[in-house]
Amino acid sequence: MTNLDELPESNRDLKNKVVQGGAWSLGRMLITNLLNLGVMAILARELSPAEFGLVALASVIIHILTLLGTEGINQFIIHDHGTGWKERTHAAFWLDGFMSLAITLIGFLLIPAITKFYTNPGLREILIVLIVVFPVRSLSKVPDAILRKNFEFKKLEIRDTILEVFVGVTSVTMALLGYGVWSLVIPGTISSALRLLIVFKITRWRPEMHLYTNYWSKIFKYYTNIMGNALTSLIITDGDTLLIGKLLGNKMLGIYNMGWQSANIINRTITGIGNKLALPTLSRVSNSIKQSKEVLYKILKVSSTISFPSFVGLFVIADNFILVVYGPQWEASILPFRILLVFAMRYAINPPLGAYFQSIGRPDVTFKLGLVIVPFYLLGVWIGSFYGIVGVAVGVTIVRTVFGFVTFELVARFLKVRFIDILKPLAPAFYASIIMGVIVFAIKMLLSLFLADNQLIMLLVLVISGTLTYWLLLRNFFKANALNLTETLKPLTGKYHSIAEKLLKTSAV
């Protein structure tokens, strides 16, 4: 595989922007994951599984409206590089605004039917609050897309980190003061308004009063494919939440959702990094199969190096993690957590694959694949529900993992390579993670003889052991991955970069 350093000189700036964007996203991941763990550790002890389940259900319903209203339009902004793209940016903003208002009205009209279907007390009030704030969230999408298009990730990551800290602190404060389920709702709505104000300030972009309606049809054509793909992806991602909420109730949904959220602690950020970097980067080289392949391989290698050890490690220490972080009342989520980690590991490297099809103007590929997956997915969740949340976790994991590899095959065909060639960038991180997992499991068995009654100390020892083991494996046996990682971290480590290189770097292979 050709490294990005070997790309023509004209692409060096692109490489630097990708590395810097990845570093700032990774830095935010480290901060926010630690923050979210602390916040969830407190909230899980203050709120009931039923309250978590109620908010999870409402959030998925609102997420459907969000995707229908904005997702495809902001991705059009990033994809578009032709003459007149500035005018189309203003056109996209106004089209998005009108659509958001229409979808907000539809949302209000649907509330009676939704609350009647689920018969969950409190769902109506939560939906009203989330729908009211929906247009505010929507208005920030276009200026956000402009920053992503221009690779100004540092500004985005600093803003989002500050807002996540605000949401976490406010949620904990409200929960401790006895606001119950609203501690999961109100902070996010306030954050949406702050996000809008901040993004307009840092972009210094303002929409022109001209609507540019002559561009709306072109934008809408791209949007329909993205919207269809996003909607099928949402059903595949959150269809289990919708069905569990109806079939098994809020309490079981809360326990399942805790396992799901825990399995995606790493994924939420890795997916965010992939979405932010992959589409604007691949769009810049979309006219060249060779360069698209090189960029895609690079992103896959870096993302797998960061994410795979986390998933394998969490699989081994799942019981310690749940009991220490969330408490014994969440013990029922341990097994679904382990099962869903298998799927989450595969899903971590999915964003650049979907972004590739968008970059070449073929979002219809993932949309059509999604249409094929949806009935199998819903069937898997429905059959699994007869065996409780563990059965649902098994059904979700089987269907999504199998079809995930179908996506790999489709990308391989477009890039004119073999299926195995797409998997090769992932192999070193996978092997290193499995070896680390075996070693951590052996240490866990040994520690259980002495520290079975002290789960916190045991968890800390296992995390440190796993981190050191993975570092030694990279340094001594998977050196190319180590060098790619230090390159990604360079914008964050700054003057300490030479120290990081000495820790990880020997001779490159």
- Residue 2, in any domain of the structure: no
Pick from 348, 369, 347: nearest CA to 357? 369
Q: Is residue 4 part of a domain?
A: no
Tell whether 1 is covered by a domain. no
Q: What is the pLDDT of residue 29?
A: 64
Does pLDDT of 472 surpass 60?
yes
Q: The domain containing residue 216 runs over which residues?
A: 13-504
Q: With contact defined as beta carbons under 8 Å apart, do 317 and 463 qualify?
A: yes
Phi, psi of 204 (to 5 degrees): 55, 25
* 5 in any annotated domain: no
Domain count, the chain: 1
Structural domain includes residue 452:
yes
Buried b (16+ CB within 10 A) or exposed e, 251-273: bbbbbbbbbbbbbbbbbebbbbb
pLDDT number for residue 485:
67
Q: pLDDT by residue (tens digit) across 186-213?
A: 998 898 889 888 888 888 888 888 888 8
Would you say the pTM of this structure is higher than 0.95?
no
pLDDT > 70: what percent of the chain? 81
**pLDDT score of 507 more than 80:** no
Any domain includes 290? yes
At residue 123, the pLDDT reads 85
pLDDT (average), residues 12-38: 60
Tokens of 332: 């029922």
Res 492: pLDDT: 46
**Mean pLDDT of the region 53-76:** 72
pLDDT beyond 50 at 343: yes
Which string of b and e fits 87-119 if b means at least 16 CB within 10 Å? Answer: ebbbbbbbbbbebbeebbeebeeebeebbeebe
- Kindly report the average pLDDT of the chain as a whole number: 79
Query: Is residue 8 assigned to a domain?
Result: no
Residue 6 lies in a domain: no
